[in-house]
Chain A
Amino acid sequence: MRINGVTIADTFAEAFTMRVARIVITGRTAKWAREAAIKLTGFATSVIGCKCEAGIERELPPADTPDGRPGISVLFFTMDKQSLPEQLIVRLGQTVLTCPTTACFDGLPDVPDRLTVGKALRVFGDGFQASKVIGGKRYWRLPVMEGEFLIEETFGMLKGVGGGNFLILAEDADAALAAAEAAVDAMTSLPGVILPFPGGVVRSGSKVGSKRYKNMVATTNDPFDPTLRAITESEVPKGVNSVLEIVLDGTDAPSIAAAMRVGIPAACRPGVTTITAANFGGKLGPHHFHLRKIVA
C-alpha cells in the first residue's frame, strides 16, 4: 500500500492498557489555564522515566467548562490504578494549585471508578478548607494567598490505551521532521488522544531492555537507528537517513485509531519513504493497530 508514493508497511503498532484521568483546568484567561496545564504535563513523556504520561488534549471555550472560564483539557496516564492518584496529587498540588486564578475539575464525571484527589489536596488548607456540594458534586475550597483554589473532590479513572505509535522513515532529517510536524498538526486537539512527547514527536524510540547493560529498562531502538545500519540487524531501508516516531495515548483504542487515520496520511510527504510501526510481536500489549487497515 502506498499513500502519495510513501509505502505503508504491512505491520502493526502494539499498545498496552493504562489508567487514564481527564483533568479540566480553568483560569481567568486562557493564558493562565495553559500555564498550569503546561507545568502539569511537563516531564510526563513516558512511564519509563516519568512514572506517568500526560498531555494537553485540547483547549476548551468558556461555554464548555464547568465555571464558564477558558479551560484546558489534560489527559493523564499511568500504568496502574495505584500510581494514578499518587501522581495526580503530587502534580496537581505543585502545578495547578500554585498557578494564579486556576480551578480544577474532573473531565470524566460519568465514570464510576473515582480517585479522591481533591479530597487529599484539601489538607493544604490546614483546617481552613471548606467544601461545597453543587449539583451533587463535592468541591473543595482551599484558601490561598491569592484568594481561593477550587478543586473537585473526586476524579474519574478509566482504562485507557498507551503506546500507540507509528514511525516516519525519511530520506533526511528535514523531511522526517516536516512530516512529523504535519502529522502532529493533523492529530492535535482530536478528542481522547494526546501525544506526550516534545512537540508530539520522539527521536529516541526505545526497545525493551538492553543488549549490554542489565539495569537498563529501555535502550535505543537500534534496528531503526540509521547510524547503526551497518553494524546491527537493521530495519532501516536503503536511502533512509532519519527516523522519527509519533507516540499516542488515548482514552480508548478507537480514539487512537482515529488519530492515526489522519496522522499517517498527513505524514506522507515528499522525502518520506515509509511509514511503519513498533511492535513486540504481540507480546507487549493487547491493542494492535494495523497500519494498512487503519488508513484503508
Chain B
Amino acid sequence: MSDIITLSLAEQPAHALIADCIAADRFAGLDAKAIAELPVVHGGRPETLGEFFKIRGGLSSVVRVEGELARVAAIGAGMAGGELTIDGSVGRDLGLAMSGGRIDVRGHAGDNVGGARPGAARGMTGGEIIVRGNVGDEAGARMRRGMIAMTGNGGQGTGVGMIAGTVVVLGRTGPGAGRFLKRGSIVALGPIDRPATFRYACTYHPPHVGLLLRYLRNRAGVTVADRYVVGRYERYSGDLAEVGKGEILHWVGE
C-alpha cells in the first residue's frame, strides 16, 4: 500500500488510447501489477495499461498521472471517489459519467469533459473536475450533478443538455452554451455567447457563486480574483425551449 499511485506515460500512443480503466477509486484495491494488467483500447485494438504507463505504488485512491496525454481518452470515466491529478493535457471524455471524487488537470482537456456515454441520458452525476487550462466542446453535456471548473476557455456547447450541476468558466465560453439545459448553472466569468433561448432576469450578487469561487480558491488552489468573488452577475434563465429552470450567470463587474 502506498500513499499515492503514480502513472507515468512511458510509450506515447500512436493512436487514440481509450484508458477508461484509470480511475482513482478503482485503483484502491489493486497493486501495481494488477493496475498494469488493466485493459485499454489503442487504435481500436485491445492492449494493457502497462504497455503505455510506468506504474509506481498501489492500493491507494490518490492517483497521479504524468505525461503528454492529449491522445489518452476517458481518463476518470465512471470514477466514484478518490483524487486523480493529471500533470499534463488530456484527451476527450475526461471524467465521463463520473459520480464522485475529484479530477484535477494541470493542463488542457479535450471534448465531452464530464459528459455522457454515447446514447446515455446522463453525464456526470457527482464529483468535481477542475481543469487548469482550456476545455474542448460540450463540457458537462447532460450532467446531472457535480461541478466542472476550467480556468481557461470553454468550447462550443458547454453544458449542453445539462440536467443540474454547475459549470464554471473563468475564460471565454464558446457559442451554444447551455442549449437544452433543464436546470443547473453555467457561471461565466469571461465573455459568453448566450443562446437566444435564455432570457435576462436581473443583475445581482448570487450568494452561492461567492461561496463556490471561495471554495475553488481555498480548497483547490484555483486563482480567482476578488472581483469575481464579490462581483455582480447578470442572471439569464433558460433554456426556455426546455423547462427553463437553469441559468447562465455572467459576471459584469464589482
Residues on A lying within 8 angstroms of B by beta carbon are 66-68, 103, 128, 130, 132-135, 139, 141, 147-150
Report the separation of the CA atoms of residues A133 and B165 in the bound assembly, to the nearest whole angstrom.
8
Choice from A135, A139, A147 contacting B219 with Cβ under 8 Å: A135
Residues of the B chain whose Cβ atoms lie less than 8 Å from the Cβ of A141: 206-208
Report the separation of the CA atoms of residues A128 and B246 in the bound assembly, to the nearest whole angstrom.
10
Choice from B146, B183, B211 contacting A67 with Cβ under 8 Å: B211
Do the beta carbons of B208 and A150 come within 8 Å of each other?
yes
Residues of the A chain whose Cβ atoms lie less than 8 Å from the Cβ of B208: 132, 134, 139, 141, 148, 150
Q: B22-67: which have CB < 8 Å to A?
A: none
Residues of the A chain whose Cβ atoms lie less than 8 Å from the Cβ of B145: 133
**Is B229 close to A, CB under 8 A?**
yes
Most B CB within 10 A of own CB, among A128, A133, A150: A133
Given the interface contacts A147-B204, A148-B206, does A139 sit within 8 Å of B211 by beta carbon?
yes
Report the separation of the CA atoms of residues A130 and B207 in the bound assembly, to the nearest whole angstrom.
12
CB-defined A-B contacts under 8 Å, sample of 22: A66-B211, A67-B207, A67-B210, A67-B211, A68-B214, A68-B229, A68-B230, A130-B245, A132-B208, A132-B212, A133-B145, A133-B147, A134-B208, A134-B212, A134-B215, A139-B208, A141-B207, A147-B206, A147-B207, A148-B204, A150-B207, A150-B211
Report the separation of the CA atoms of residues A132 and B229 in the bound assembly, to the nearest whole angstrom.
16
Residues of the A chain whose Cβ atoms lie less than 8 Å from the Cβ of B245: 128, 130
Residues of the A chain whose Cβ atoms lie less than 8 Å from the Cβ of B185: 132
Residues of the B chain whose Cβ atoms lie less than 8 Å from the Cβ of A133: 126, 145-147
Nearest residue (CB) in B for A26 is B207
Report the separation of the CA atoms of residues A148 and B204 in the bound assembly, to the nearest whole angstrom.
9
**Is B166 close to A, CB under 8 A?**
yes
Top-3 shortest CB links A-B: A150-B207, A147-B204, A132-B208
Q: B222-245: which have CB < 8 Å to A?
A: 229-230, 245
Do the beta carbons of A148 and B229 come within 8 Å of each other?
no
Residues of the A chain whose Cβ atoms lie less than 8 Å from the Cβ of B147: 133-134
Interface size class of B (residues with CB under 8 A): 20 to 34
CB distance from B164 to the nearest CB of A (A): 8
CB distance from B162 to the nearest CB of A (A): 13
Report the separation of the CA atoms of residues A51 and B176 in the bound assembly, to the nearest whole angstrom.
54
Do the beta carbons of A68 and B210 come within 8 Å of each other?
yes
Do the beta carbons of B211 and A134 come within 8 Å of each other?
yes
Report the separation of the CA atoms of residues A71 and B147 in the bound assembly, to the nearest whole angstrom.
27
Report the separation of the CA atoms of residues A66 and B205 in the bound assembly, to the nearest whole angstrom.
16
Residues of the B chain whose Cβ atoms lie less than 8 Å from the Cβ of A149: 207
Do the beta carbons of A135 and B215 come within 8 Å of each other?
yes
CB distance from B146 to the nearest CB of A (A): 8
Given the interface contacts A130-B183, A133-B145, does A67 sit within 8 Å of B214 by beta carbon?
yes
CB distance from A140 to the nearest CB of B (A): 9
Report the separation of the CA atoms of residues A149 and B230 in the bound assembly, to the nearest whole angstrom.
16
Most A CB within 10 A of own CB, among B147, B211, B229: B211
B130-163 interface bits toward A, Cβ cutoff 8 Å, 1 = contact, 0 = none: 0000000000000001110000000000000000
Nearest residue (CB) in A for B126 is A133
Report the separation of the CA atoms of residues A103 and B207 in the bound assembly, to the nearest whole angstrom.
8
Report the separation of the CA atoms of residues A128 and B183 in the bound assembly, to the nearest whole angstrom.
11
Report the separation of the CA atoms of residues A130 and B246 in the bound assembly, to the nearest whole angstrom.
9
Residues of the A chain whose Cβ atoms lie less than 8 Å from the Cβ of B166: 132
Nearest residue (CB) in B for A150 is B207
Report the separation of the CA atoms of residues A203 and B147 in the bound assembly, to the nearest whole angstrom.
54
CB distance from B115 to the nearest CB of A (A): 19
Residues of the A chain whose Cβ atoms lie less than 8 Å from the Cβ of B211: 66-67, 134, 139, 150
CB distance from B143 to the nearest CB of A (A): 12
Report the separation of the CA atoms of residues A6 and B148 in the bound assembly, to the nearest whole angstrom.
64
Beyond A68-B229, A103-B207, A132-B208: 14 further Cβ-contacts under 8 Å? A66-B214, A67-B207, A68-B214, A68-B230, A134-B208, A134-B211, A134-B215, A139-B208, A139-B211, A141-B208, A147-B207, A148-B204, A148-B207, A150-B207
Residues of the A chain whose Cβ atoms lie less than 8 Å from the Cβ of B146: 133
Report the separation of the CA atoms of residues A103 and B208 in the bound assembly, to the nearest whole angstrom.
10
Residues of the B chain whose Cβ atoms lie less than 8 Å from the Cβ of A67: 207, 210-211, 214
Report the separation of the CA atoms of residues A249 and B245 in the bound assembly, to the nearest whole angstrom.
44
Report the separation of the CA atoms of residues A230 and B185 in the bound assembly, to the nearest whole angstrom.
73
Nearest residue (CB) in B for A105 is B211
Report the separation of the CA atoms of residues A147 and B206 in the bound assembly, to the nearest whole angstrom.
7
Report the separation of the CA atoms of residues A14 and B54 in the bound assembly, to the nearest whole angstrom.
66
Do the beta carbons of A147 and B205 come within 8 Å of each other?
yes
Residues of the A chain whose Cβ atoms lie less than 8 Å from the Cβ of B202: 147
CB distance from A102 to the nearest CB of B (A): 9
Report the separation of the CA atoms of residues A103 and B210 in the bound assembly, to the nearest whole angstrom.
12
CB distance from A261 to the nearest CB of B (A): 35
Residues of the A chain whose Cβ atoms lie less than 8 Å from the Cβ of B212: 132, 134
CB distance from A211 to the nearest CB of B (A): 54
Report the separation of the CA atoms of residues A67 and B211 in the bound assembly, to the nearest whole angstrom.
5
Nearest residue (CB) in A for B247 is A130
